[in-house]
Chain A
Amino acid sequence: MARHSPHKSKSSANIHLPRSLQVAYSLAVLVALAGLADATYLTVQSLTGETLVCGGSADCSKVLGSAYSHLGPIPLASVGALGYFAAFTFATFCAFGYRRLRIFLASTVWVMFAAAIGLLCVQAFILHAFCRYCLFSAATTFLLTGILVATTPNGARQT
């Protein structure tokens, strides 16, 4: 998972990425993929108007059909999909030794973490309903945050 070009290794890639970091970033890639699939499904639901009808879970209808599920005309799920795709991209490059991209991965994940907390509060205190797809998305974001924190360079681990 490391690059061999000596010239490139001076710029962004690192050929000595520890095995534990490789595993952690690979795990982040998989988690981000799961979040991407969930957010893509919710985006499609919103675009087909499925969130404007009853039929599935009553709580999901309430959450996904609410005013909080859109940013103007844009489904919030599509913004989430972009966030997960960005996290996936940065995690993939980090796993291949592009350590300088870690700052972008961290920025993306922390923004997503803040958004997940905010949306959980909206569900709990305003809508009084929880949608399982949104909970899954929050769980994947928390997992990504956990991986990020666990891989934070400090002391001897810092490179």
Chain B
Amino acid sequence: MKHLAPFLIVASVALLTIGGGVILYRAKRVSSVAASPDIATKESKQGDVHSRGPANAPVVLEEFGDFQCPPCGGLSGPLLTIEKDYATKLRVIFYNFPFAIHQHARAAAHAAEAAALQGHFWEMHDLLYREQAKWSAVPDVSQLFESYAEILKLDVPRFRKDVRSPQVEVRVVRDEQLGKSLGVQNTPTLILNHRPLPSSSLNSESIRKAIDEILATQPAR
């Protein structure tokens, strides 16, 4: 019996590894966003959100994003193309979720919110993502963000003041709290018509497929 011991040990470890891996895989897929997205929907219905696209669009894509997160930046281009391709059928909503591990993420969120006070949130949103690699490497981003405000033809003195305003801080914190209440742990987190997309689907092809599936179930208008 003793000569079977190494075989039994190796087989047991193989089974444990595979079983543990499968359990971990399932747990991680489920816990990517565990909470109900009803809260986000409630916020978006109140109209106090940054949204782009028709208000009555059949598909609503909600993003929790961090402007300094490389995967968020990488996904922003494909998302913009998707928005254009599904122009009349898709509404996109953005929530700030800056991580402390990213040095300038909060400052970037503040810049976007300050631009929002002048009605140019999405222009600043797109610019911040497009220029992410540049400003992420700069020690002091305030001047760079002011130059972005200038490019967008904003009132720069007002922008400078708004960036540090409690109003902007409250707005960013509110988005963060909303994300935390939903169980958001990563960025980008995308919620498509109440359904969180798994991290493995954060690519253009999977997002389009998910949108098409929703549209296929919608009655023709």
Contact = CB atoms under 8 A, between A and B. Distances in A.
Interface of A: 2-5, 8, 13, 33, 36, 40-41, 43-45, 47-50, 52-55, 57-58, 61-62, 65, 81, 85, 88-89, 92-93, 95-96, 98
Interface of B: 2-3, 5-6, 9-10, 13-14, 17, 20-21, 24-25, 28-29, 32, 66, 69-72, 99, 101-102, 185-189, 198-202
B147 to A, nearest CB: 25
Nearest to B17: A40
Contact of A49 (B2, B6, B198): B198
A49 to B, nearest CB: 3
Nearest to B29: A48
Given A53-B71, A54-B102, A43 B21 contact: yes
B10 A8 contact: no
B72 A47 contact: no
A4 B25 contact: no
B21 A58 contact: no
Contact of B200 (A49, A55, A58, A85): A49
Contacts of A41: 24
B21 A55 contact: no
Residue among A41, A58, A85 facing the most chain B CB atoms (10 A cut-off): A58
17 contacts: A5-B3, A13-B3, A47-B200, A49-B199, A50-B28, A50-B186, A52-B200, A53-B187, A54-B72, A54-B186, A55-B99, A55-B187, A62-B70, A85-B14, A89-B10, A92-B6, A95-B6
A96 B202 contact: no
A92 B25 contact: no
Given A40-B21, A49-B199, A58 B101 contact: yes
B6 A93 contact: yes
A26 to B, nearest CB: 11
A44 B25 CA distance: 6
Secondary structure at the A interface, as helix, strand, loop or mixed, is: helix
A65 B203 CA distance: 14
B73 to A, nearest CB: 10
Contacts of A58: 99, 101-102
Contacts of A81: 17
A54 B25 contact: no
Contacts of B3: 3-5, 8, 13, 96
Nearest to A41: B24
B6 A36 contact: no
A95 B185 CA distance: 43
Contacts of B20: 40
B97 to A, nearest CB: 9
A61 B70 contact: yes
A93 B185 CA distance: 43
Residue among A48, A54, A57 facing the most chain B CB atoms (10 A cut-off): A54
Nearest to B14: A85
Given A44-B25, A49-B200, A55 B185 contact: yes
Contact of B21 (A2, A8, A44): A44
B198 to A, nearest CB: 6
A49 B196 CA distance: 14
A37 B9 CA distance: 16
Contacts of A89: 10
B23 to A, nearest CB: 9
B5 A96 contact: yes
Given A49-B200, A52-B71, A81-B17, A92 B9 contact: yes
A41 B205 CA distance: 26
Nearest to B23: A44
